[in-house]
Amino acid sequence: MLDFLFAPLRKLGHMTINAIWRLGYISRFLVALLAASGQSVRRFSLVIREVYFAGVLSLIIIVVSGLFVGMVLGLQGYNTLARFGSSDALGAMVALALLRELGPVLAALLFASRSGSAMTAEIGLMKATEQLDAMNMMAVNPLARVIAPRFWAGVISMPVLAALFNVMGIFGGYLVGVVMIGIDEGTYWSQTRNAVDLHYDIVNGLVKSLFFGIAVTLIAVFEGHEATPTAAGVSAATTRTVVTSALVILALDFILTAFMF
């Protein structure tokens, strides 16, 4: 009788339970993954292979994006700082913005869409074509042979890519600030070095990117492993990887920033 009233509530309850269930499931997945990681350490060549596909092949997009983000920061920063007559602080602004926020976050977003989606699609397709089941039949644990090396490769690659993104961004800011606009080179670097602290800015940024690496790769391999084994299912799982990763990166970034700075 009151169905029109209960139906939305029931839907809300279902969504809440589903979300909590997924959270618990992904945590159990992580524990199982860590427990099965022994083989990735013993056969490290498996991880190296995946570092090649996840990390090395992402170099181009990271280098080009980092350079352009740094150049845009240089241009916009100069326009605003020049209004307050403090365009000398451009180097400090570019470096701090990149090291603290933009480097780790943008590198993680790019990594999620470039490598995370590829991981999901690959594992999802392996599941759809019953390769994972075949491995189980041969007494090979797919979690140890397929999933764990990809996970560790992502965790290793992410800080490296973020550091490279930072360097390219700072170089881009230098190109615009010093070479194009003509701020004094010595001032640019000394302002940067005065403002940037090794522990506070650089190490915290790298710790952030490590957390993002864990989150992005975990989501990618989880969605691939849990994909509905059909063409539509793999497609949906890939989409979910990119969307969930992006949201988790931004939420995690807020939490980490609140704790760190």
Partner 1 sequence: MLKRSTIDLWVGIFVAIGIASIAFLSLKVANLTPQSADKTYEIYADFDNIGGLKVKAPVKSSGVLVGRVSAIALDTKRFVAHVTLTMDGQFEFSRDTSAEILTSGLLGEQYIGLTQGGDPENLKKGDTITLTSSALVLEQLIGKFMTSFAEKGASGGHTDASAAN
Q: Which residues bind partner 1 (CB under 8 A)?
A: 45, 48-49, 51-52, 55-56, 59, 95, 99, 157, 159-161, 163-164, 166-167, 170, 189, 192-194, 196-198, 201-202, 206
Residue 218 makes CB contacts below 8 A (sequence gap 6+) with 26, 29, 30, 33, 151
- Nearer to partner 1 by Cβ, of 27 and 194: the residue is 194
The least distance separating partner 1 from the CB of residue 132, rounded to whole angstroms, comes to 21
> C-beta of 10: minimal distance to partner 1 in Å?
50
- State the nearest-atom distance from the C-beta of 184 to partner 1, in Å: 16
Q: By C-beta, is 12 or 60 nearer to partner 1?
A: 60
Q: Which is nearer to partner 1, 2 or 198 (CB)?
A: 198
Identity of the residue, 86 or 239, whose beta carbon is nearer to partner 1 in the bound complex: 86
Could you give the C-alpha distances from 2 to 6, 7, 128, 173, in angstroms and in order?
A: 6, 9, 42, 62
- In whole angstroms, how close is the CB of 200 to partner 1 at the nearest point? 9
Helix (H) or strand (E) holding 245: helix 231-260
Q: Give the nearest distance from C-beta 178 to partner 1 in angstroms.
A: 14
Q: How many angstroms separate the CA atoms of 87 and 78, rounded? A: 6
Shortest Å, Cβ 248 to partner 1: 23
Amino acid of residue 182: G
Handedness of CA 80, 104, 68, 184 (dihedral sign): positive
Residue 131 or 228 having the CB closest to partner 1: 131
Read off the tokens for 195: 């403002």
Q: Which is nearer to partner 1, 163 or 220 (CB)?
A: 163
- Helix (H), strand (E) at residue 18: helix 3-35
Q: Which residues of 163-177 are buried (b: 16+ CB within 10 A; e: fewer)?
A: bbbbbbbbebbbebb
